[in-house]
Amino acid sequence: MDWIGIGVLIIGVAFSALVIVLIKPLRKLTDVLKGVEQTTERLPKVLDDSATQAHEVFQNVNATLVNVNEQVQSVNPVLHIVKDAGEASQQLTAVALEKTLELKKNTTEAKEFTDRKRYQGFYGIVSFFFYLFQNKKDLKESLPKVNAK
C-alpha cells in the first residue's frame, strides 16, 4: 500500500469512529426536531382557537357596553329630575330661612314693643297681637310662598 491508501484508510476509520460517537446525540436531535414538528403542526389550530375566543370575548364586551349605554340613557332623565328637585328644594329652603329670620326679627320687635311699653299679662298679649295685626301685610310678605309647578 502506498501512502495515499494508508491516509485514506486512516480517514475512513476516523470518520467511522466519529459516526459511532455521534449516533446518540444525532438521535436525540432527531427526537427534538420531531417534537418541534408536532408543535408547529398544532400551532395554527391553537392560534385559530385563540382568535375565535378573543373574537367572542370582544363581541360580548361590545354587547355589554351597548347595554350599559342604553341603561345610562334611560336613567339620565331621572337624574336630571332629581337634580332639578334638589335645586328647587334648596331655593325654597333658602327663601324659607330668610323669611323665618325676618319673622323672628318682627316678633322680636313686637316683644320689645311690649317690654318697652311695660305691658304685662293679658294686656301684653293683646298688645302683642295688635302689633302683629298692624304689621300683618309686612308679615305676609315675609312668609315663604310655595309655588306649585
**How does pLDDT run along the chain (149 residues), one tens digit per residue?**
688 888 899 999 999 999 899 999 999 999 999 999 998 899 889 889 999 999 999 999 999 999 999 998 888 888 889 899 999 889 988 888 888 888 777 777 767 766 666 656 666 677 777 777 777 766 666 655 655 44
Asked whether 131 and 113 are in contact (CB, 8 A), the reply is yes
Domain boundaries, the chain: 3-142
Per-residue buried b or exposed e for 17-40, using 16+ beta carbons within 10 Å of the residue's own CB: eeeeeeeeeeeeeeeeeeeeeeee
Residue range 18-29, pLDDT digits in tens = 989 999 999 999
Asked whether 128 and 114 are in contact (CB, 8 A), the reply is yes
Dmax (CA) for the chain in angstroms is 159
pLDDT at site 148:
46
pLDDT at site 49:
92
pLDDT at site 145:
61
* Residue listed under C-alpha cell 357596553: 65
* Residue listed under C-alpha cell 408536532: 38
CA gap 132, 113 in Å, rounded: 11
CA gap 100, 108 in Å, rounded: 12
